[in-house]
């Protein structure tokens, strides 16, 4: 019997063509992608649904929720799901699928760094690798996986590290999960499996809470942070410096903000983590934690944003505490 694969397409460079107005823009539908790239294995039956035709910076959290709901709906009828989209936010989409997507079939998100008409375009290879990866049962239980340039990355670890090269993705604090090579899929990290399963959280309330992201800067006076409650935000992720540090004036402002909404600190240091118990100066991680700021562990700012949105959006919100949700990521 043929194995069934579902493809959900959202747009991105993998679907882009030159526009008459200049530059490349999303053009190809999911069906056209399948037609253009094909599938190597005749034992696979691939169905396609075009959900969006956007650059990935144009996606909203509600688009990701809709995607996750579609993937859940599709899961009982297929053996694996591939999502095609832009690489700019591929890490957020994969993480959203970890949070809200199905956990019983392999889910892979892929894209391309070079559009289909560019010399050395990587779309066909990434697409075919992804189809092969989701048709392989060893991906079940690893959460959503990003497949790019022949490598498998766990949704929670993957980050984009280059804006243009084909080898643009890395995984940290753990490395890659494995490879797609020579017609097969090698998962190298079976020991990590228990830490990687999807969360399969309930889908949020119809009105999704809005979580803000602020980046701390040298001399940040905290004025922007103090404006968030009146702007209607329900929570905030603050990207701090070093181990999760901000200017003393910002620390005071964040303390006041903690009385109004959950505040979590991340770090701008790529591939690293927020400290917990090293620095005691005003604005340090110890000081911020005492003031009520939660520590974001090693999760990136963008993923903390989605995690907080997911938790605050759950009905009723108190059922699933955000501090508890941070624990698998070394935070809290
Ligand atoms: N540079 C992007 C991409 O690789 C554009 C996007 O994210 O849509 O697809």
Q: What CATH number does the domain located at 205-329 have?
A: 3.40.50.40
Residue with the smallest CA separation from ligand 1 atom 4 is 87
Burial classification of residue 172, based on how many CB atoms lie within 10 Å of its CB (0-12 exposed, 13-18 middle, 19 or more buried):
middle
Fold type of domain 3-187:
Rossmann fold (3.40.50)
The CA 111 to ligand 1 mean position distance, Å, reads 8
Per-residue confidence (pLDDT) for residue 200, from 0 to 100: 73
Do 116 and 16 touch, CB atoms closer than 8 A? Answer: yes
Whole-angstrom distance between the N-terminal and C-terminal Cα of the chain? 47
Per-residue confidence (pLDDT) for residue 307, from 0 to 100: 94
The CA 1 to ligand 1 mean position distance, Å, reads 36
CB contact burial 258-275 (16+ within 10 A = b; e otherwise)? beebbbbbbbbeeeebbb
Nearest ligand 1 atom, CA 163: 1
The CA 15 to ligand 1 mean position distance, Å, reads 9
The CA 88 to ligand 1 mean position distance, Å, reads 5
Percent of the chain with pLDDT over 90: 83
Which residues of the chain are under the pLDDT cut of 50? none
Residue with the smallest CA separation from ligand 1 atom 7 is 86
Domain ranges of the chain: 3-187, 205-329
Nearest ligand 1 atom, CA 13: 9
The CA 58 to ligand 1 mean position distance, Å, reads 10
Burial classification of residue 255, based on how many CB atoms lie within 10 Å of its CB (0-12 exposed, 13-18 middle, 19 or more buried):
middle
The CA 232 to ligand 1 mean position distance, Å, reads 30
User: For a substitution probing ligand 1, which of 10, 16, 56, 113 has the most ligand atoms within 8 Å of its CB?
Assistant: 56
Per-residue confidence (pLDDT) for residue 194, from 0 to 100: 65
CB contact burial 24-58 (16+ within 10 A = b; e otherwise)? bbbebbbebbbeebebeeeebebebebbbbbbbee
For 246-265, the pLDDT digits (tens) are 999 999 999 999 999 999 99
Per-residue confidence (pLDDT) for residue 204, from 0 to 100: 73
Residues with CB under 6 A from ligand 1: 12-13, 55-57, 86-88, 111, 113
Distance CA 110, CA 14 (A): 9
Per-residue confidence (pLDDT) for residue 225, from 0 to 100: 97
The CA 163 to ligand 1 mean position distance, Å, reads 9
Per-residue confidence (pLDDT) for residue 249, from 0 to 100: 97
Residue with the smallest CA separation from ligand 1 atom 6 is 86
């Amino acid at each position: 019997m043929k194995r069934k694969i579902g493809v959900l397409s959202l747009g991105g460079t993998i679907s882009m063509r030159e526009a008459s107005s200049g530059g490349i823009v999303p053009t190809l539908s999911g069906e056209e992608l399948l037609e253009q790239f094909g599938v190597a294995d005749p034992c696979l039956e691939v169905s396609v649904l075009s959900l969006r035709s956007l650059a990935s910076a144009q996606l909203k959290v509600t688009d990701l929720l809709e995607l996750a709901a579609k993937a859940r709906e599709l899961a009982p009828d297929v053996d694996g799901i591939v999502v095609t989209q832009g690489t700019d936010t591929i890490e957020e989409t994969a993480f959203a699928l970890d949070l809200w997507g199905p956990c019983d079939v392999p889910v892979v998100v892929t894209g391309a760094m070079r559009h289909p008409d560019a010399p050395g375009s990587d779309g066909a290879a990434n697409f075919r690798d992804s189809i092969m990866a989701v048709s392989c049962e060893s991906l079940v239980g690893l959460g959503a996986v990003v497949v790019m340039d022949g490598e498998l990355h766990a949704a929670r670890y993957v980050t984009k590290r280059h804006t243009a090269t084909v080898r643009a993705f890395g995984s940290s604090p753990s490395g890659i999960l494995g490879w797609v090579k020579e017609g097969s899929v090698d998962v190298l990290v079976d020991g990590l499996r228990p830490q990687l399963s999807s969360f399969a959280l309930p889908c949020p309330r119809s009105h999704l809470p809005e979580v803000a992201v602020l980046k701390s800067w040298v001399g940040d006076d905290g004025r922007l942070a103090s404006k968030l409650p009146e702007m209607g935000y329900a929570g905030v992720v603050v990207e701090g410096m070093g181990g999760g540090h901000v200017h003393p004036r910002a620390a005071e402002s964040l303390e006041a903000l903690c009385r109004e909404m959950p505040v979590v600190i991340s770090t701008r240091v790529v591939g690293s983590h927020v400290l917990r118990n090293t620095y005691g100066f005003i604005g340090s991680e110890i000081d911020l934690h005492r003031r009520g700021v939660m520590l974001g562990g090693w999760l990136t700012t963008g993923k903390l944003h989605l995690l907080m949105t997911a938790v605050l959006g759950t009905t009723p919100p108190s059922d699933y505490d955000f501090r508890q949700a941070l624990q698998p990521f070394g935070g809290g």
